[in-house]
Structure 1
């Protein structure tokens, strides 16, 4: 039965955490979806949540759901702001979208302490420093 399912592999799509700016109070971060494909994405659904251990206790954040009607080729869209206090948790983004009439989905997980200055790169399309999972 599983062999009968189509292989809808997600390629050329990224989730990124970008540094938007810095003030005396702290840094401002946003999560983006980046479409590196040459075709648009339609009906994009993203759920986000954080989970893990902090100070010896299990912690879970609320699950948030986001909908983006469409995303043109070689563009990006903001999913949500993200608080630096959650960087010590697993930050999970479950992405589903359509291309034509075919659905694709993939889970992206930023592991604890992976969003640090040492891992920052210049993000494609967004052109800001950040951490990206492709």
Structure 2
């Protein structure tokens, strides 16, 4: 039964979209996993996809899968580059990882138009401008 399963809550883990660099013609964006915990996480699996509507038509991106054997404490890993064209979609990142023998998972969704300058913060650990979901 679901009620018998332990509630392994994901805390101190973030997914962030960071502005890497920009010039007159373009901006370069990357998505990162940030481990704010005081311990490493292991066997990290992240799936990413975009979905929504564009010009009144349903749009879906490919599902991508990323695996990282270990993410150290107070560290980050690069998940993938992200195209500005997808900022008008829901950008979903589903994270699963282990601490010891316990598994944790959480879905992070950047809603359409949430990756905008007015939502920027200085991302912890990365020290870059961007948007983060805890």
Residue 120 (str. 1) matches residue 120 (str. 2): yes
Counterpart of 2:45 in structure 1 is: 45
Counterpart of 2:28 in structure 1 is: 28
**Structure 1, residues 88-108: CA drift from partner, whole Å, max 9, x if none?**
000000000000111000000
Counterpart of 2:89 in structure 1 is: 89
Aligned residues: 134
* Superposition deviation, residue 111 in structure 1: 0.0
Work out the CA distance in 2 between the residues paired with 1:80 and 1:39.
Answer: 23
Once superposed, which parts of structure 1, at least 4 consecutive aligned residues long, lie more than 3 Å away?
none
TM-score, L = length of structure 2: 0.99
5+ residue gaps, structure 1: none
Work out the CA distance in 2 between the residues paired with 1:28 and 1:40.
Answer: 28
- Local SS of the residue matching 1:87: helix
Counterpart of 1:131 in structure 2 is: 131
5+ residue gaps, structure 2: none
Counterpart of 1:18 in structure 2 is: 18
